[in-house]
Amino acid sequence: MRTSIKNNVSWVGKVDWELRSFHGSEYSTHKGSTYNSYLIEEEKTVLMDTVWAPFAEEFVENLSKKIDLNTIDYVVINHGEVDHSGALPALMKHIPEVPIYCTSNAVKSLKGQYHQDWDFHVVKTGDKIDIGNGKELIFVEMMMLHWPDSMATYLTQDNILFSNDAFGQHYATEKLFNDLVDECDLFNEALKYYANILTPFSGILKKKLAEVIALNLQIDIIATSHGVIWRDNPMQIVEKYAQWSDDYQENQITLIYDTMWNGTKKIAEKIAEGIGLADSEVVVKVCNLSKSDENDLITEIFKSKTVLLGSPTIAKSILHSMAGFIHLVKELNFKNKKAASFGCYGWSGESTKVMDDLMKNAGFEIISDGLRNQWNPDEKDQVSAVEFGKMISKA
Ligand SMILES: Cc1cc2nc3c(=O)[nH]c(=O)nc-3n(C[C@H](O)[C@H](O)[C@H](O)COP(=O)(O)O)c2cc1C
């Protein structure tokens, strides 16, 4: 694997091909991931972030084959989460006196996780360190993108922005750069990452992007902490982030349902048919919640202007799969999206009202009373569901 990034900057991270879930089981990683750590060898030698704890020993061993660990002058930790700082304890055993540059919040998160009194040097936006040969590292706090401790680091002369989690993707590859991988896969993973991790922080991100653009930094390379490095037109991902953080939506309506005996599934298909009949342009997607990956569904919601949720009534409420899913949706704090509901019932039929209340509480605009269908839909009920779809399309 080629590891040279530019001049005296090299990649010393780890490709994790078999990772299939991240943050416990909160985030599915169908394509694995990488933990990107970088080594800068100027007059001063700097290590930028590390890798996840299970790879700590391997990381330290590989690094010590590349350089004498005692030549490291500074460690920079852009974000204290264990996927980037997890190898610190193993590394710092070898170099306990080396200063660690990070934000004040990162001191708290690193101490909270590793309970070590390393030589922390707190930095703020605009602080710099001279690393020799006319080059400097400039720090930019990125508070809440996505933890209070996050920051990015800019390397002058080489014009590399080490952006940590921002602009990243969970995408395992031996190719280091964006121009060497499948563009479609890359953007799907970048979008999924944004939708599932960064959506709640869109407001903060918008301001931060404006702040970074105002700094007028020449950015030739964006070196993320997961996935590929953006060297071919790096500003393309910055432009995407500007769009995604601006209440993003496409011309898409997504139906997500769960069912016990398939009545609600039939209703979902008929509503989708009605939407398609009323509007040939709109993209309509129908997803069975219990047969889908929840993070992929969140990505579909991210792209949608309207979301229809379906659940039969059970014990005067909704299926617990749907309740859990709406909890996840609420966490993401989506803006400017519409919703409606549908579901079969036997005798009391509370499910649509329960879903409407939950979705309203999650910040969605409810555009219609839900479609309630008693027992299994017959021909007439199916025609009503098609009409409901046409009405939703017009709403
Ligand atoms: C365990 C169980 C509990 C149910 N509780 C209710 C209820 O409280 N109120 C109601 O109207 N229907 C209730 N039903 C009936 C279902 O809502 C009805 O069978 C519906 O048609 C199922 O839709 P589905 O085919 O999409 O699963 C219950 C059904 C089951 C199996």
| Tens of pLDDT, residues 209-264 | 988 888 888 999 999 999 999 999 999 999 999 999 999 999 999 999 999 999 99
Alpha-carbon dihedral 325, 330, 335, 337, rounded to 10 degrees: 40
How distant, in Å, are the alpha carbons of 258, 351, 373 from that of 382? Answer: 18, 19, 9
For the chain, what percent of residues have pLDDT higher than 90?
94
Instruction: Give me the pLDDT at residue 213, please.
Output: 83
Q: Is 90 exceeded by the pLDDT of residue 146?
A: no
259 lines ligand 1 (CB under 6 A): yes
312 lines ligand 1 (CB under 6 A): yes
295's enclosing H/E stretch is helix 294-303
Q: What is the mean pLDDT of residues 203-213?
A: 89
SS (H, E, C) 104-128: HHHHHHHHHHHCCCCCEEECCCCCE
As a whole number of angstroms, the longest Cα–Cα distance in the chain is 79
Task: Report how far residue 270's alpha carbon sits from residue 371's, in angstroms, rounded to the nearest whole number.
Answer: 12
Q: Looking at the DSSP assignment, which residues form a beta bridge with residue 150?
A: none
Backbone angles phi, psi at 270, to 5 degrees: -70, -35
Which numbered atom of ligand 1 lies nearest the CA of 376?
21
Instruction: For CA atoms 24, 91, 31, 226, give the dihedral sign.
Output: positive
CA 92 to chain centre: 29
Name the pTM for this structure.
0.95
344 lines ligand 1 (CB under 6 A): yes
Where residue 2 falls among pLDDT bands split at 50, 70, 90?
low
Q: Is the ipTM of this complex over 0.85?
A: yes
Ligand 1, atom 21: closest residue by C-alpha:
375
Backbone angles phi, psi at 213, to 5 degrees: -65, -40
Strand 252-257 and strand 100-102: pairing? unpaired
Eight-state DSSP code of residue 41: E
Centroid of ligand 1 to alpha carbon of 366 (angstroms): 24
Catalytic residue among 23, 246, 357, 369: 23
Question: Pocket of ligand 1, candidates 260, 261, 286, 290: which has the most ligand atoms within 8 Å of its Cβ, to mutate?
Answer: 260
Strand 45-48 and strand 74-76: pairing? parallel
Catalytic residue among 73, 165, 300, 381: 165
Which numbered atom of ligand 1 lies nearest the CA of 347?
11
Q: Which residue has the tokens 């601006």?
A: 246
- Tokens representing 106 are 């990162």
| Tens of pLDDT, residues 40-79 | 999 999 999 999 999 999 999 999 999 999 999 999 999 9
| Structural domains present in the chain | 4-244 (3.60.15.10), 252-394 (3.40.50.360)
Backbone angles phi, psi at 112, to 5 degrees: -65, -30
Cα Rg, the chain, nearest whole Å: 24
